[in-house]
Amino acid sequence: MSLHVPRALTAAIASFALMQPALAHEQAGVAGGLVSGLLHPVTGIDHLIAMVAVGIWGAQLGAPAIWILPITFPLVMAVGGVLGVLHVPLPMPELMIAASAVILGVAVAARLRLPFAAAALIVAIFAIFHGHAHGAELPRAANALAYGVGFVTATGLLHLFGIAIGTLTRWPAGERVIQGLGAGIAGIGCYFLAQGLGAVA
């Protein structure tokens, strides 16, 4: 039965990826900014899977990565968000976001054990691009600070969800489920990467 779980999870994520979610980008003021910020990481499947993967990979690496990686990502992402709000350009942001899902998914699937500093650097680099994308899509009428608090909070919750999934590594069957999920994340990342490359070409 455990072999069917990764397939079901992958199918569910793939189905969600093909949906056109209704983003709350037109809400105004502080409340609208907070709601928009909370929804933005959740309704973007490329963001969602990468952020969950950060939590899972941190759980696989153990202390201190299990907490430092999910803390590093939102903090650095907030810096990227400011760059996005200010419209400071970054090279190929959509391709980097897709690449983050591929690399983090592979790291989870392969149980990649990098030195803590290297893992934190990888997460921080990707966080800049994810934050930039969130900031660049700030709703015109929304409060920027509330929007930032929203997407940083949502990101932290997604990391915690990933950490919870990562606790399945305590059981052999759970480890197989996680590796299958990592492979699914990498596969969906490849889909977005191919789309991005096609748009550039």
Q: What is the pLDDT along the chain (201 residues), one digit of tens a residue?
A: 444 545 554 454 444 444 434 343 445 455 656 777 788 777 888 889 999 999 999 999 888 888 888 888 988 988 998 999 898 999 998 999 999 999 999 999 999 999 989 999 999 999 999 989 888 877 765 677 888 888 888 888 999 999 999 888 778 788 889 999 999 999 999 999 998 888 776
Are the beta carbons of 178 and 80 closer than 8 angstroms? no
Residue 142, helix vs strand vs coil: strand
Angle at 67 between CA 93 and CA 11, to 5 degrees: 55
The answer to whether the predicted template modeling score (pTM) of the entire model surpasses 0.85 is: no
